Structure 1
Amino acid sequence: MDIALIRSALWSEFWREDLLGWMITVAAVAAVIYWRCPHDRRSVGNTLGLGVLGLVGILAAAALAAYRFDAAAGVVREGSVVLAGVAILRLCGQLVFRVLLPLGGLKPPRIVEDLVVIVAYIAWGLVRLRLAGLDLTGIVATSAVITAIIAFSVQDTLGNILGGLALEFDSGFGIGDWIKVDDVVGQVVDIRWRSVSIQTRNWETVLVPNSHMVRSKVTVLGQRAGHPIQWRRGVAFSVSVAVTPARVIGAVEASLRGSRIDNVAAEPQPNCVLLDFDTGSGRYAVRYWLTDLARDDTTDSAVRERILAALQRAGMQLALPEQNVHVVAEDRAHAEESAQRDLQLRVAALRSVDLFDELNDAEVQRLAASLVPAPFANTEVITRQGAIAHWLYLLTAGTVDVVVALPGRRARTVATLHAPTLFGEMGLLTGEPRHATVMARGSVECYRLEKSAFEDVLQRRPALAERMAQILAQRQQALDRELELADAGPAAQGHRMTEEILEKIKRFFGLAAPSA
């Protein structure tokens, strides 16, 4: 056979006048979906691949027809047309349900799209059967038997489809909700005709068949009518029974409610309860409401930091499991060595700040022995503006923010302090309310110096008050300049402020009668 004739026959069998128009239309629809729906690009690519396969099949059918294999050509062509039609219907479904309807403000469930496209596939198949010359009246006449056979063979699929419809229209949860099914906890991201897609916190996607979802007990997390999405969590800890529950609960609740913790609801407030008693300890639990259900572990960790810091500041420790073990007692020398190392750290903390430069070694040693460890967790308020607190803090590790709120102005951070430094000295030396709020930025370690410990030093050496008044005046001037409150020359203002602070120190510690 002449090659030219074969090529001519091949082209005439393959090419149709409307084929170019269909190809341009399909390409345009695919481009729109690809642009508007980035998450569906893989699906668009697969659908186009199916369409290309159909075109290749049509070309193969044309080749068979050119070589006079008419029967085979008819079968291949019909199957290829069905494939190409399926691809076109799939793209049309995506265009309507994922582009056009959302542009109009409608977002139908994904299962509706799936069912509509499936019905379109079936209708397309029946149309091709009818065009192929198959008499559908015979199929309709025997439809009862065929339906029974099909229903029996695809009962699981039908169960999933019906289950998907039930979940979509009467399930109590929807896309975006957090649920628990059996041992799976995660967020619902899709409800399809076959399964529900659940994304877990471990970056896993679990596909649960719809029929199983309908039969199982599903727990919807964090939902209560009339309230925002928030889920109660519990963080357990133990403290020795030697400490009264009121002390434990008071210290922990004051820490948790004192300043905001990320992802913890303000209402209801976190609370601490005594759950039970164990061997030598009481078992407690902090209950709080989580607002971002994806961040459970990190928020639990932040709450545990607050608990531990609050207990340490109050002189309490977490209880350890009791066991009967044989130990070798430490000798006195070892204990003294450990105490001496701790004392040296405290002395170094006092010597690192200028307020105590005038103290001799004996006085520093005496103050060091009275320091109380005071750790704080991230974002925890260490001291609050306006509070009455007759002690100061020595910051030995970490960073804190100094926040001031003035009448008619928004609170703002005026300074960031880095260890080693101190703050709260005005409260210790003059008894004045706190001038600023100090908040931990990350975990910080402090020592607390009480008035009672410092009073003995000033009573023995009243002359120290003048030097400390000068240091306090310099610090107050720096704060006033930051707040743009200074209204006098530095020298005049500094001298006047020093005299005022010295008078307050003398009055607060009873060093001398106030001047007239």
Structure 2
Amino acid sequence: MIFTSWVTAAVISVSFLVTAASLRAIEPGNNKRARRVAFFCLSYLLAVACFYISKSVPQIDIEASSQGIAFLMGWLTSLEIFSIILFKIILPKLGHNLPSIVTELFLGVSVVVLIGVTLSHFGVDTTSIAATSAVVTAILAIGLQATLGNVIGGVALQLDRSIRIGDWIQLENGKQGRVQEIRWRHTVLETRDWDTIIVPNSSLLAANITILGKRAGEPLQHRMWVYFSVDFRYSPSYVIDTVEKAIQAPPSILGISENPKPNCVCMDFSKEHHESYALYAVRYWLTNIQDDDPTNSLVRRRLFAALQRAKIPLAIPAAQIFVEKDNEQNRERKAHSELDKRVGALKRIEFLSALSKDEFKHLAEGLQPVLFSKGENIMVQNDQAHWLYIMTEGKVGVWVTAANQTQKVTDLSAPTFFGEMGLMTGAPRSATITAMTDVRCYRLYKDVFHKILHDRPAMAEEISAILATREVETQNVKSLLDQATQKKRIDEVSGHMLDKISDFFGLAAK
């Protein structure tokens, strides 16, 4: 018999080792299958060894039985190796990932046939066994209807592939989980809470199951909702435009699809007579269903910052009462404290150092506080914006795009300022500034600064000299100019910048 040959044993052993190594490389965590084949291979080698021992030692009469066992184990090992090569290596490479139940059915039928052939080799009447087994099977089927229903459900789920491993599904009770495994009797779901749900297969077939984010011909995306309320003082059009501009602005929020774009809708008006607000919702399409709450949090952060910048407060219950000791003295103290904070921020700006106390106060009263959430663009390169940012909290990154390549130039941390060229000359933004943390700033607008320059036109020359020095010093990092050349360059840039400031603020005509 061929399976009792040492050559055959060597070929099967080498094939097993190569196949096991390939399986481990493809599926590092799938050791259960390799251990099963190893058991069959070792049993086969032991049977072959017993066969040759019985031939060498006549007193040990196990030649026939060891030959039959070698035949059975040799075929089992070969079938296991063949199924691994076919179902785990070749077919997946060709793009055909068959359900695991197909492999198990193939092996199950093969084992039954091999056991029958082996028993026939020993002279056992397999016909009577088959008849007896049919009777026993009928009895068991009556007593195990529920289990058989689950088994049939598992076969149906894997063959029609309506639910696949990796799908996110929602059960009728509202629980959600990712399909990790479809077994004969049940399906294993893993939730976001690191819990495991065992669902009988018959229940999946009988219930209405929602497969999250799955749509024919479309990428895996699941629509999410973030609700908020704003009172009736602000029109729905203004609220929706403000929110959509923020959530659609680059850079896009991590985990949100760009197609369809996130949007904002007015869902309803309060139906309670004592309430006065409208209910809104931000709708977006989630690309990684695992990260639902973290992405919701990012959306809320950007939403909150956008509403803060637009001075749109979130609605509070009409019955809410705030009790605070308030009088003229307390209000004046708060106003002075805020004004001092703003003046302190303005004094950190080098080219404003020559301002008087009253001029600092004038500018401070005109500052607008703004909030940006992490990841938002505060400034975008080449945009036109006639204001300066004074950063009091947070950290930003500076990015410059040139020749279709975007590179990070530096990081800036509070307290600092940026955007001075837009304020003083109207020049387009020279870089993109992105919030690396939540950032609080003040905006200093051209209109607020206009009166000071018209009252003190000579100040334009001082500012142009300071800005020119900063620009040339920045260029000097690359050019390494000598001191004389650097001074000459500052004079040239200063004159050019003075003309721009004068034109921009209308000083030349005065």
Pairwise CA distance, 1:227 = 2.7
2:244 match: 253
2:257 match: 265
| 8 Å CA contact 1:110, 1:190 repeated in 2 | no
Cα distance change of structure 1 residues 492 and 110 upon mapping to structure 2, 3 Å threshold: same
Give 1:55-74 correspondences, 5 Å limit. none
Cα distance change of structure 1 residues 483 and 165 upon mapping to structure 2, 3 Å threshold: farther
2:360 match: 364
1:8 match: none
Q: For 2:225, which of 234, 248, 252 is the aligned residue?
A: 234
Deviates most, 121-130 or 416-425: 121-130
1:119 match: 109
1:7 match: none
1:135 match: 125
| 8 Å CA contact 1:114, 1:193 repeated in 2 | no
Tell me how far apart the structure 2 counterparts of residues 456 and 53 of structure 1 sit (CA, whole Å): 96
What amino acid maps onto 1:116 in structure 2? F
2:288 match: 292
What amino acid maps onto 2:453 in structure 1? L
Give 1:337-348 correspondences, 5 Å limit. 337-348=333-344
Cα distance change of structure 1 residues 42 and 347 upon mapping to structure 2, 3 Å threshold: farther
Pairwise CA distance, 1:142 = 5.5
Pairwise CA distance, 1:20 = 6.5
What amino acid maps onto 1:363 in structure 2? E
Tell me how far apart the structure 2 counterparts of residues 104 and 312 of structure 1 sit (CA, whole Å): 54
Cα distance change of structure 1 residues 248 and 110 upon mapping to structure 2, 3 Å threshold: same
1:238-275 C-alpha deviation (Å, 9 max, x unpaired)? 12222222222121111112212222122222111111
Cα distance change of structure 1 residues 328 and 201 upon mapping to structure 2, 3 Å threshold: closer
1:444-481 C-alpha deviation (Å, 9 max, x unpaired)? 11111112222222233222211211222233335556
Which secondary structure does the structure 2 equivalent of 1:295 belong to? helix
1:211 match: 202
| 8 Å CA contact 2:9, 2:45 repeated in 1 | no
Cα distance change of structure 1 residues 209 and 350 upon mapping to structure 2, 3 Å threshold: same
Deviates most, 385-394 or 173-182: 173-182
What percentage of residue pairs aligned between the two structures are identical? 37
Tell me how far apart the structure 2 counterparts of residues 118 and 245 of structure 1 sit (CA, whole Å): 65
Deviates most, 220-229 or 121-130: 121-130
| 8 Å CA contact 1:44, 1:91 repeated in 2 | no
How well do the aligned residues superpose, as a CA RMSD in angstroms?
3.9
Deviates most, 265-274 or 187-196: 187-196
Which secondary structure does the structure 2 equivalent of 1:319 belong to? coil
Pairwise CA distance, 1:326 = 7.4
Q: For 1:195, which of 173, 179, 186 is the aligned residue?
A: 186
1:302 match: 298
Give 1:77-476 correspondences, 5 Å limit. 93-102=83-92, 106-141=96-131, 145-182=135-172, 183-259=174-250, 260-278=252-270, 279-325=275-321, 327-406=323-402, 408-476=403-471
What TM-score comes out, normalization by structure 2 length?
0.82
Tell me how far apart the structure 1 counterparts of residues 320 and 286 of structure 2 sit (CA, whole Å): 39
Deviates most, 463-472 or 317-326: 317-326
The number of residue pairs the alignment matches comes to 493
Note the residue ranges of structure 2 that are not aligned, 5 or more in a row.
none
| 8 Å CA contact 2:150, 2:185 repeated in 1 | yes
Deviates most, 346-355 or 25-34: 25-34
Tell me how far apart the structure 2 counterparts of residues 384 and 326 of structure 1 sit (CA, whole Å): 40
Which secondary structure does the structure 2 equivalent of 1:416 belong to? strand
Tell me how far apart the structure 2 counterparts of residues 76 and 176 of structure 1 sit (CA, whole Å): 45
| 8 Å CA contact 1:353, 1:420 repeated in 2 | no
Cα distance change of structure 1 residues 53 and 330 upon mapping to structure 2, 3 Å threshold: farther
What TM-score comes out, normalization by structure 1 length?
0.81
Pairwise CA distance, 1:328 = 4.8
Cα distance change of structure 1 residues 475 and 239 upon mapping to structure 2, 3 Å threshold: farther
1:11 match: none
Which secondary structure does the structure 2 equivalent of 1:448 belong to? strand
Matched, 1:41 2:31: yes
What amino acid maps onto 1:113 in structure 2? T
Pairwise CA distance, 1:347 = 2.0
Tell me how far apart the structure 2 counterparts of residues 101 and 78 of structure 1 sit (CA, whole Å): 33
Tell me how far apart the structure 1 counterparts of residues 26 and 383 of structure 2 sit (CA, whole Å): 56
What amino acid maps onto 1:271 in structure 2? N
Pairwise CA distance, 1:373 = 1.0
Matched, 1:491 2:487: yes
| 8 Å CA contact 1:235, 1:304 repeated in 2 | yes
Note the residue ranges of structure 1 that are not aligned, 5 or more in a row.
1-15
What amino acid maps onto 2:400 in structure 1? V
Which secondary structure does the structure 1 equivalent of 2:449 belong to? helix
Pairwise CA distance, 1:394 = 0.6
Which secondary structure does the structure 1 equivalent of 2:392 belong to? strand
